[in-house]
């Protein structure tokens, strides 16, 4: 299993570098901006805004990190099929479930690295921001989690089909947008006024139902399929 994980790490190294860059970039940007402000001495009590700035950075980092999760899902199976290295792997006595486990473990580790530190920063700085902003920022984590699940699970399903990894990633990235647009169109057609809360509720419902279904379908198809 160690060698399978190592292989997954090497196969997805570029995506992991992207994930690290997306994770760090908002913090780096905020740090540079605050340092610039301090250097220029623009006035105002800027030190009191450090907490808000870094909390915003944690939310931005989290949102951007989801892209890496979509890339991981889309590249999971289709990537090796595209460069035909899946054929080499298929000649080895490795059970399919082990191959999939390696891919899922890597994705979960990356998700943990993206979510863990950002949630810690957010929690740690919770008291340093006004209650209104606190509520607003906290409210973005739920939809972000559903979006991350959709990104990964839809691109995982598409990756298990004989599709290219770029199509799988694109499908994963578009899935939340398509779902949102579908919900909005339905509510508009039903004549619902002020649909914002309903859109979020439906998004949760559809996202939390569709994601496990896509994950199970992709996994099942890959396990059933004899071809690499």
Partner 1 sequence: MIQSSKQDSMGHGPVIDLVGVSKRFRRTLAVDDLTLQVERGTTFGLIGPNGAGKSTTIKMLMGMLRPSGGSVRVLGRDVPREAVSVKQRVGYVPEVPQIYGWMRVGEVIRFCRSTYETWNDTMCEEMVELFQLELRKKVKHLSKGNLAKLSLLLAVVHDPEVLILDEPMAGLDPVAREEFRDGVLRTVCERGHTVFFSTHAMDDIHRLADTVGILYEGRLLVHRDIEQLLSTTKRIRATLADGATPGRVPVGTLWHRVEGREWLVTVEDFSPEKAQQMSAEPGVSHVEVIDLGLEDVFKDFVKGRRAAS
Q: Which is nearer to partner 1, 87 or 135 (CB)?
A: 87
**Listed ranges 53-61, 85-93, 104-112, 122-130: which one lies at the site for partner 1 (CB under 8 A):** 85-93
Q: Which is nearer to partner 1, 94 or 137 (CB)?
A: 94
Residue 224 CA to residue 173 CA, distance in Å, equals 26
- Looking at residues 108 to 147 of the shown chain, list those that interact with partner 1 (rule: CB under 8 A): none
Closest contact distance (angstroms) between CB of 162 and partner 1 is 13
Give the dihedral of Cα atoms 141, 165, 171, 225; nearest 10 deg.
-100
- 82 counts as binding partner 1 under rule CB under 8 A: no
Q: How many CB atoms lie within 10 A of CB 129?
A: 21
Residue 76 CA to residue 26 CA, distance in Å, equals 27
Q: Which is nearer to partner 1, 128 or 164 (CB)?
A: 164
CA–CA distances in Å: residue 118 to residues 28, 104, 182, 212:
14, 21, 31, 24
- Looking at residues 2 to 41 of the shown chain, list those that interact with partner 1 (rule: CB under 8 A): 2-4, 6-7, 10-11
Q: Which is nearer to partner 1, 80 or 202 (CB)?
A: 80
Count of residues touching partner 1 (by CB under 8 A)? 22
Closest contact distance (angstroms) between CB of 218 and partner 1 is 19
Interacting residue with partner 1 among 36, 88, 188, 221 (CB under 8 A):
88
- 92 counts as binding partner 1 under rule CB under 8 A: yes
Q: Which residue is listed with tokens 């000649």?
A: 91
Interacting residue with partner 1 among 44, 91, 130, 131 (CB under 8 A):
91
CA–CA distances in Å: residue 191 to residues 182, 184, 187, 188:
14, 10, 6, 5
Give the dihedral of Cα atoms 21, 219, 85, 149; nearest 10 deg.
-10
Closest contact distance (angstroms) between CB of 6 and partner 1 is 8
Per-state percent for the chain, helix, strand, coil, to nearest 5: 85, 0, 15
CA–CA distances in Å: residue 182 to residues 45, 89, 157:
45, 40, 20
Q: Which residue is listed with tokens 């908002």?
A: 26
Q: Which is nearer to partner 1, 88 or 188 (CB)?
A: 88
Q: Which is nearer to partner 1, 8 or 53 (CB)?
A: 8
Closest contact distance (angstroms) between CB of 93 and partner 1 is 4
Contact set with partner 1 (CB under 8 A): 2-4, 6-7, 10-11, 83-88, 90-95, 226-228
């Amino acid at each position: 299993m160690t060698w399978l994980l190592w292989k997954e790490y090497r196969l997805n190294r570029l995506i992991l570098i992207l994930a690290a860059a997306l994770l760090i970039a908002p913090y780096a940007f905020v740090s540079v901006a605050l340092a610039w402000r301090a250097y220029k001495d623009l006035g105002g009590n800027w030190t009191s805004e450090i907490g808000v700035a870094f909390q915003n950075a944690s939310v931005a980092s989290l949102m951007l990190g989801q892209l890496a999760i979509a890339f991981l899902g889309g590249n999971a199976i289709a990537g090796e099929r595209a460069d035909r290295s899946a054929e080499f792997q298929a000649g080895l006595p490795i059970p399919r479930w082990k191959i999939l486990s390696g891919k899922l473990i890597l994705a979960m580790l990356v998700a943990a690295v993206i979510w863990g530190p950002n949630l810690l920063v957010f929690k740690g700085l919770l008291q340093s921001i006004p209650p209104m902003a606190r509520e607003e920022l906290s409210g973005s984590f739920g939809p972000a989690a559903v979006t991350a699940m959709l990104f990964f699970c839809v691109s995982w399903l598409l990756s298990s089909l004989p599709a290219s990894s770029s199509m799988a990633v694109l499908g994963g990235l578009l899935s939340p947008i398509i779902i949102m647009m579908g919900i909005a169109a339905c509510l508009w057609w039903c004549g619902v006024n002020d649909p914002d809360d309903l859109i979020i509720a439906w998004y949760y419902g559809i996202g939390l139902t569709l994601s496990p279904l896509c994950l199970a379908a992709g996994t099942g198809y890959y396990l059933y399929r004899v071809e690499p």
